[in-house]
Amino acid sequence: MNALSEQILSELRHLLSEMSDGGSVGPSVYDTARALQFHGNVIGRQDAYAWLIAQQQADGGWGSADFPLFRHAPTWAALLALQRADPLPGAADAVQAATRFLEREPDPYAHAVPEDAPIGAELILPQLCGEVASLLGGVAFPRHPALLPLRQACLVKLGAMARLPSGHPLLHSWEAWGTSPTTACPDDDGSIGISPAATAAWRAHAVIQGSTPQVGRADAYLQAASGATRSGIEGVVPNVWPINVFEPCWSLYTLHLAGLFAHPALAGAVRVIVAQLDARLGVRGLGPALHFAADADDTAIALCVLRLAGRDPAVDALRHFEIDELFVTFPGERNASVSTNIHALHALRLLGKPAAGTSAYVEANRNPHGLWDNEKWHVSWLYSTAHAVAALAQGKPQWRDERALAALLQAQRDGGGWGAGRASTFEETAYALFALHVMNGSEEPTGRRRIAQAVARALEWMLARHAAHALPQTPLWIGKELYCPTRVVRVAELAGLWLALRWGRRVLAEGAGAAP
């Protein structure tokens, strides 16, 4: 056990030390398909097309069947990319299977827009649907009517702007509305809105207009983004990149949830990241990347991390996202994010600031079981619940929540793991342990024994699945489709296992119900 704990700390230290390369993000079906469609040279991207075909599920769609809301964008995009790659092995069969899938698939946007709709759905899905309809006009596809007025309103707004400033949130979906490269300009990393799909689309238009120097910058960005997937396949790209603020912020926040933030073995790597965040945090806050618009979520987590490190950051960077004691992730947001307000609450409490309205909002946004499952940035209720428990308990030693504890313990699978889909995942099991870690501190002996039993089962499940330096594979984070920020998730997995190991050792040494 001690040897494994040391191995975990060593891998965590290595992960933290790598976080100066822009970030690590798993490959995206949607963005890869769009980049292939805009690239134009089928023969030069055969390996990427083969990868795309290999990701198709048995039912003909792309994306996890556990979360059907997030399957439309990758499936539409893959169908469009593959219909022009007919000579390649498997392409024609993949198109036929995708067509059958879309004919059968219910339309989640037939009457309303779900709260957790993927990023840019109102712009992206109607545009993709229209492209496919023009190719296969007689097929009864989902038409997403509830999105049409939202798209139209957004296009009117965009039409009034000659050019969006670099890093504007709407640039992230440029591929779904942009036609002239003059409406955007690559940022300092060469991207359009930190999006490979948007950048590939912009590049294709810029080539036609002969904007050679800028095209070269976009090419360099797309190549770097492809490398961030660790796939080793040219042309396979992530859903978002870089994430050079989001990745270190969330990783250090996760260390706090596991009780690892101040661990001596990680102190040097943590100190470097904290110094960078301190230097980067300005009066306007921070976004997921250095050259992207600031938002309340990244700003709140950065404030949490800096305060935990003993700094005294100004709360003003967060306050300008506040409207009537609630926080919008970014101006113009279609609907509020529960986790953004959870993170804002945590930051305000750490900084000793009043947050009664935000606290009330977080408490009100539970399901009947007392858990948080209506989140728009992560598909698993375990993520938002773990973060909510940490925020609500901050500065309140006697905080208890019997209803949430009972529901969390009841949700543990027979094998010992947790998961929002049909299978448990390492990431989600770690989030369950983070929540139990907080709850255990104020529980009575009976409750602590129940928690200790759940942790012991989780530890057994995790030990059977742990492998050193393994890359997470399951996409649970919500972007234009579900995606996996690889290092962020791996830090959560390792931190969860470390916590369970430490907890298990103390239970053995002191008897059931010992504190972690």
> Do 366 and 455 sit in the same domain of this protein?
yes
Average confidence (pLDDT) over 118-137: 92
- Average pLDDT of the chain to the nearest whole number: 94
Q: Are residues 347 and 301 in the same domain?
A: yes
CATH code of residue 52? 1.50.10.160
Domain count for the chain: 2
Q: Does residue 59 sit in the same domain as residue 10?
A: no
Reference 162, options 179, 184, 177, 186; nearest CA is: 184
pLDDT in tens, 274-320: 999 999 999 999 999 999 999 999 999 999 999 999 999 999 999 99
Residue 238 included in any domain: no
Which domain range does residue 295 map to? Answer: 3-17+243-510
Q: Is residue 150 part of a domain?
A: no
Instruction: Give 213-249 as a DSSP string.
Output: HHHHHHHHHHHHHHHTTT---TT--BSS---TTHHHH
Picking from 229, 255, 271, the residue at the C-terminal end of a domain is 229
C-alpha dist (Å) from residue 515 to 85, 174, 452: 59, 50, 9
State pLDDT tens for residues 494-514.
999 999 999 977 766 665 445
Domain membership of residue 236 (yes or no) is no
Cβ atoms < 10 Å from Cβ of 327: 28
Both 203 and 278 in one domain: the answer is no
- 387/369 Cα distance (integer angstroms): 17
Work out the percent of the chain whose per-residue pLDDT is above 90.
85
Domain boundary among 173, 203, 229: 229
Residues 331 and 367 sit within 8 Å (Cβ to Cβ): no
User: Tens digit of pLDDT for each residue in 102-122?
Assistant: 999 999 999 999 989 999 999
**Do 169 and 249 belong together in one domain?**
no
Per-residue pLDDT at 162:
79
132 within a domain of the structure (yes/no): no
Residue 453, in any domain of the structure:
yes
Residue 209 placed within a domain = yes
Beta-sheet pairing, 326-327 with 477-478: unpaired
242 preceded by a cis bond (ω within 30 of 0): yes
**CA 286/CA 192 separation, integer angstroms:** 18
Those residues whose C-beta lies under 8 Å from the C-beta of residue 495, and which sit 6 or more positions away, are 12, 254, 255, 257, 258, 260, 430, 434
Same domain membership, residue 323 and residue 268: yes
pLDDT in tens, 334-386: 888 999 999 999 999 999 999 999 999 999 999 999 999 988 999 999 999 99
Spatial separation of the C-alpha atoms in residues 387 and 345, rounded to whole Å: 10
Q: Are 182 and 294 in the same domain?
A: no
Kindly give the residue spans of alpha helices, DSSP state H, lying in 258-337.
267-280, 296-308, 316-319
- The pTM is what? 0.96
User: Is residue 474, in this structure, part of any structural domain at all?
Assistant: yes
**Same domain as 405, residue 331:** yes
Cβ burial of 158 (10 Å; 0-12, 13-18, 19+) is middle
Domain co-membership, 267 together with 386? yes
Is residue 321 situated within a structural domain?
A: yes
Q: How far apart are CA 229 and CA 96, in angstroms?
A: 28
With bands split at pLDDT 50, 70 and 90, how would you rate the model's confidence at 214? confident
**Residues 9 and 38 placed together within one structural domain of the fold:** no
CB 485 within 8 A of CB 74: no
Question: Cα–chain-centroid distance for residue 475?
Answer: 8
Residues 455 and 508 sit within 8 Å (Cβ to Cβ): no
Q: How far apart (Å, rounded) are the C-alpha atoms in residues 497 and 513?
A: 18
Residue 335 DSSP SS3: coil
Same domain for 346 and 424, yes or no, is: yes
